[in-house]
Structure 1
Amino acid sequence: MFFFENYTITNVLIFLLVLFGLLLINEGTRRSKILSIVFYIAIPLTFTLFLWGKGESENTDGNWFAWVKTYSALAGVVGFMAIRYFKKLQTNKWALLFPALILSVNILEAVFRDFEVYSKAGVIENGLFLQGGPWNIINGIAGIISIITITGWVGIKIANSKSKDMVWADQLWFWIIAYGIWNMSYVYNCIPDRAFYAGVALIFSCTVAAFVGTKGLWLQHRAQTLALWAMFSLTFPNYSNTQYFDIVSTHAAAPKYVLAIAAILFNVGVLVYEIITIRRTKRNPLKQELYIDLPCYQEVIEANNL
């Protein structure tokens, strides 16, 4: 195959189990404050004290990214929970800046790692075969553009629903798709032998939840599914060495180029559209929502009874 190889019935079934597991737990914790506290606060605290950094998890000590990604994802989820459940934060401009800030930091972590992997020529690091190349630089630039095109965090609101979801109406489908392609390229470049699970399954889970479920909740879905997968990876760092998670990258240069070029083209497209919208509407993306005139924006508002 072009992107991945080693497809077996067992591997495909495990992939589906991961995908639906992420969707199920994400949906359950979205609807329940108690489940959110258990999964994103109680379990991480317990694992930090008694499991992570010990035993099998010692194999992750050399990989700074695994640790940073886990705790930054959890910080995002807990921060979003605070905004969702504490009314005073819902109108605080600094609190509303937090989602954009944690998202930007999350992207920057990956951009830094892409640039870091560029200098690695066929090395094995933390059990992963890394082959750096121009695709790392191309995709790193795409990631930086993805940060520039983040808009409308000042308009984040809490849905009028039992689940009290965090609604980011200005974060629309075109940005989400551009981000997804960039993130898939990053994972394919930097976590190649886990990219089918940490990339395809993980990205697909939050995207499906955002497009099929209630609209406007992508970042909430992204943070929760990322935190869940990061905790799993930190707990079982050698999962990809088993026969059950054996769909791996082909390690060819062509698919790396395809993903990286697609990432930068889509993100540049979003940037161009953002600039055109700013010039047309005279809105300031740092102080105002940018896409309020679009029908898809109105659909988000209506879906969340805002």
Structure 2
Amino acid sequence: MGILYEGANFNIVAIWFFILFALMAFNEFGRSSKWGGIVLFLIVPIILTIFVWPTTAAPGNEYGTGNWFNWVKTYSALAGCLGFMAIRYIPSLAKKKWALCFPAFILAFNILEAAIRDFQCFGYGAWNGAYIDNLWVISGPWNIMNGIAGLLNIILICGWFGIFVSKDKTKDMIWPDMIWIYVLAYDLWNFAYTYNCIADHSVYCGLALLLSCTIPTFFIKKGAWLQHRAQTLALWIMFVMTVPTFADRIAPVPTTHNPTAFFIVSLLALIANVVAAVYQINIIMKRKLNPLKNEVYVNTKAYKKVIEENKSLKDEVHVNINI
């Protein structure tokens, strides 16, 4: 028995890696081809909405996929994917300030959904653990801690007016201010959310899913973290809504149900987001920036690397103007 999860056999480990690489592969298909993205994030969801999900994700079903959160998360993730595709493939949109607000809005909305869910799980009062909506949850201070971490993560969102479309053939949506500091703080918060609220599914929807967008961010396409995140999230939740038995019956990896593990995971997430917030506020105050208008991390190596890899020499080095 492990600290976070019960032991898994070779077959389960193999399935976990298959899920990880499948998400990365479909993400690459969706981002490398406009038609690939349209098929994955528009045509397939329409078919599933009409013919599959009313059965597999019916309210109150035995698999826990019929709750409000799953449905809202599915369509908000898909809205992000389609909105980002519009920015990528409609040249005039990437030049509109109102359009560049959309990525920040959809990211904040998705985080807020999860923070509300953490607070809701605390409100259940399941102090010794219980099955609620056919999902095992245990209420505790970790829900409050991680809910606060999520709200801080929303505050950390910055630099959306610096978003641009890469000059290569994939036309990725690049957000230079989303450097590793934010990605790390988000990953720790989101993993804690999945551990708290979807505990016995979190080895997939937490660990594997987060790695499937974080690995491409650092090793395949720097600066496109939110695009990677939206697409892999949409892919995963569409799969879960379609095959709700997967995490519970086909390849289960339950948590240890140990309150100490829940506390430590959420504490780490809260600390990471507090540290990131303090660091960001310090930069804002020193440089006298307006975080609603200016990019914050333009002087960092991570920011400059993203610009170097995604803009041609004819483009401006960065956009950091008062709007």
Cα pair 1:29 1:36 within 8 Å, conserved: yes
| Residue-pair matches, total | 304
Cα pair 1:115 1:137 within 8 Å, conserved: yes
| 1:22–1:298 Cα change, 3 Å | same
What TM-score does the superposition give when structure 2 sets the normalisation length?
Answer: 0.92
Distance in 2, matches of 1:212 and 1:61, equals: 33
Distance in 2, matches of 1:211 and 1:298, equals: 14
How far 1:127 moved relative to its partner?
Answer: 2.5
Q: In the TM superposition, what are the counterparts of 1:109-258 in structure 2 within 5 Å?
A: 109-120=113-124, 121=126, 122-242=129-249, 244-258=250-264
Q: In the TM superposition, what are the counterparts of 1:58-137 in structure 2 within 5 Å?
A: 58=58, 59=61, 60=64, 62-120=66-124, 121=126, 122-137=129-144
What TM-score does the superposition give when structure 1 sets the normalisation length?
Answer: 0.97
Unaligned runs of 5+ in 1: none
Distance in 1, matches of 2:194 and 2:33, equals: 30
Q: Deviations over 1:181-208 (max 9, x none)?
A: 0000000000001000000000011001
Cα pair 1:156 1:169 within 8 Å, conserved: yes
Corresponding residue for 2:31? 30
| 1:61–1:11 Cα change, 3 Å | closer
Distance in 1, matches of 2:170 and 2:118, equals: 36
Secondary structure in 2 matching 1:124? strand
1:271 aligns with 2:277: yes
Cα pair 1:6 1:246 within 8 Å, conserved: no
How far 1:296 moved relative to its partner?
Answer: 1.0
1:50 aligns with 2:54: no
Distance in 2, matches of 1:63 and 1:41, equals: 22
Secondary structure in 2 matching 1:87? coil
Corresponding residue for 1:294? 300
Q: Which runs of 4+ in 1 moved over 4 A?
A: none
Q: Deviations over 1:13-46 (max 9, x none)?
A: 1100100000000011110111100000000011
Distance in 2, matches of 1:74 and 1:95, equals: 17
Cα pair 1:183 1:199 within 8 Å, conserved: yes
Q: Kindly indicate which of the two structures has a greater share of residues assigned to helix.
A: 1
Secondary structure in 2 matching 1:129? strand
Unaligned runs of 5+ in 2: 313-323
Secondary structure in 2 matching 1:53? helix
How far 1:245 moved relative to its partner?
Answer: 1.6
Letter in 2 for 1:112: I
